Each structure stands twice: as structure tokens, then as C-alpha cells.
Amino acid sequence: MNQNGLIVGIQEKPSSIGKWIILSLQHVFAMFGATVLVPLLTGLDVGVALVASGIGTLIYIFCTKAKVPVYLGSSFAYIPPITAAVASAGGAGSAYIGLMVVGLIYVLVATIIRFVGSGWLKKLLPPVVIGPMIIIIGMTLAPVAVSSSGFDGSQGWEVPLVAAITFISVIILSTKAKGFLRIVPFLVSIFIGYIAAVIVGIVDLAAAFEGVKFFQLPNFSFIGTYAFDLSNVLMFAPLAFVTIAEHIGDHVVLGEITGNDFLTDPGLDRTLLGDGIATFVAGAIGGPANTTYGENTGVVAITKVGSVWVTGLAACIAILLGFFGYIQAFINSIPWAVIGGMTIVLYGLIAANGVKILIKDRTDLGNMKNLIIVSTMLVIGLGGAELVISSFLKLSGMSFAAIVGILLNILINTIEHIGPHHNEEK
């Protein structure tokens, strides 16, 4: 046992190849369900998402000098803008450009932190702003979960039944399962829901696997084919600050688990740099944004294995899985009834995490300043507000709410700071 409580240290290899592979597969299973769910929900390619996840993790390991046992997977924060961009005239290409811009914002923030420190970031993104941002992300997606599960009355009895079976499976596994099953409730619930869907006849297995090869190239996209849409890009940019806040939180938690201060060594600038470059590369090849995965941090906490050799091998396995045709075909054949039942919980959890941030910070909603910021952001973000700047440029939904929240917080704090001085002069 190391001084920091780890059985296998951060830069140590497991004692045997067999253990190394098994420990890495645990990380693959922990990230797999969430990583493939994002492309399923947004229409992006599953194989590319897996490849982007693996490449992103390896980039992160390199940028952090192999000092942090983090795994990067697909980010849920960008589901609403990706979905909106894919449905727009710019198509998926404009979504990829938006994600690349997010990666560049990470790199810019990392560079600023390297030279001036991170104090400004905490002032820009207090919990009273971050909490409502995350609530809006989850609640914006709520109608998608309801319609996909057939609980809006638009589907026959089969769809709500399968959605309900999937939903109940998630609840039971999340609350009652022990050990490894408790880590992957969504992944197991997909299989249970899929079996139910096959039984009631809403899965066409023959069509799903027709023409599929064991080993096939993912459907990569590249920069030269992307259409630029400034309005779509602006949907993504403010969300970078939400995921930056999550990034910091994940590294603090992992630091507590391993007994290290990762924000000091290798430093927040390096961890953000790795995350940012990973997201830029993901967008450049047609994949969803990468983000640090709490699921894999949980694996480190349970196993007490913090080896970057283990997360690195998991990344290599994820890249290989991206080229397995039958895995992609199976994932693409999962009916929306299954996805809908699962996302009722999942999207609710995202919103609840925003509430949790406010509670953990003990944000006083009896304080009129905090109440104004939270309520204004929720109304703008959930009310369909738009700010049309020109015929080709507009802010809406989450992006509009994020900018308003940041500016309101700065404005009210400035007024509070200036006010007492004026009174003293009088």
C-alpha cells in the first residue's frame, strides 16, 4: 500500500499483464455506457466517439506528464447544442466547429492560468452561476426523454413498456446493486431494455446487422467538410465554462481519493490543456467533446488503483473498439424506447447536479443577489429566449442564459463593491 492509500501508484504498472488488462477493462466498462450514449442521442458516429475518447485520454496523459489517472469520455453538457446544430442548415459540421472552439477556449484559459493564476476563474464562475447552467442543460433535454419513451402519448403500448422496464432497471441497479454492477447501471439497463424491445418486436435485428463487417472504419469527418455557422458556434462557447468548472471539481475529488493536489502538480494549466486539446481533436475527426469522467474516478476510489498505465491501456482498448463493426451495429440498433427510459433518470441527474452545487456551496437564495441571478438564468434558459444580433448571429437557450448569468454576477458584485464607498464619502 502506497502512502497515498493506493494499491498501485499513479506511475506504477500492475504486477502482471493479466491484472493490467482486467483493471483496464474495468475502466472501459465504466466509461462505455455514457461515452456511446452521447452519439446515440445526438446522431454522431459511435465508433468515432470511442476513438476520440481513447485518443483524448492519451493526449491528456501526455500533457499532464502521466501524473493524473483521469479518463476522458463523451461530455453530456454539449448534447443540446450538438442536437440543435445537427438539425440546422450547418448540420453536424457546424457542431464539430463549435466543439473545436470549446477546445481552443480551454487552451486559452490554460494559458492565462499559467501566467496569472486561477483566481479570476473562480470569480467569473461562482456556484451561483454554474449551478443554474447545469440545471438548464438537464431540463432542456427533458422533453426529448419524455417523447423518446412514449410518455407523451405519441407511441403504441410497446414503447412506453420498454421505456418503463429500462427505467426501473436503472433505479434498481443504481440503488440496490453491489460491486461492479453499481458502477455500470446504465450499461446493464441498456441490455435489459434491449431484450425487452426484442421480445415486444420493436427491434429489426436483420436490418441492424445487414452488411456489417467484423472490422470496419468508423465514419470519421474532417475539417475541410465542415460548414461554419457563427450562431451555432456561439451556442457552444459559454458551455466551455460549465465543463471547466466540472473539470476542476473532478480533479479536486480525484486528488482527495489519491492524496495528491493535481491543481498544483501537474497544475490546472496542464490538466485544462490536455482536456482542451482532446476536445479539439475530437471535433476535428467528427466526435463529441471530451470531459473528465466521474465514473472512472469512482473506479479509482473503489479499486485503489491509480495507475496511468491502466487508464492508458483502457484508452487503447477504446480506440480498438471503435473499429469493431458488430459493436457499432448493436449500439445503433438500440431503439429510442430504451434510450428514453434511461434518459428520464440521466437528464434528471444532470439537472439535480446543478441543484447539488448550490446546496454544497450553501448558496443563500434568501439573498436577493443570488435569487436574481438564479431565477433570471432559469427563465432565459428554459423559456426559449433568443437575442438576435444579426441575420446570421443569435444567442439562445443555455448560451444566452450563461452569458446573462456571468454578466449579472459581475454587475451586481460591482454595484455592491462601489456602493459602500459612496456612502462613506457622503
> How far is it, in rounded angstroms, from Cα 416 to Cα 414?
5
Give pLDDT, residue 373: 92
- Angle at CA of residue 144, ends 139 and 148, nearest 5°: 145
Give pLDDT, residue 426: 42
Give pLDDT, residue 165: 93
> Which stretches of the chain score pLDDT less than 70?
1-4, 89, 179-180, 182-184, 224, 302, 389-396, 419-426
Written as one letter, the residue type at 170 is V
> How far is it, in rounded angstroms, from Cα 346 to Cα 364?
27
Give pLDDT, residue 278: 96
* DSSP label of 118: S
Note the residue count of the chain. 426
Give pLDDT, residue 305: 83
Give pLDDT, residue 235: 80
> How far is it, in rounded angstroms, from Cα 326 to Cα 208?
10
238, 125 in Cβ contact below 8 A? no
Give pLDDT, residue 184: 63
Give pLDDT, residue 4: 64
Give pLDDT, residue 425: 47
295, 34 in Cβ contact below 8 A? yes
Q: Is the pTM of this model over 0.85?
A: no
State which H helix or E strand residue 292 sits in.
Answer: strand 290-292
Domain map (residue ranges) of the chain = 17-419
DSSP per-residue codes, 204-270: -HHHHTTT--SB-------GGGPPP-HHHHHHHTTHHHHHHHHHHHHHHHHHHHHT--TIIIIIHHH
338, 193 in Cβ contact below 8 A? yes
Give pLDDT, residue 2: 60
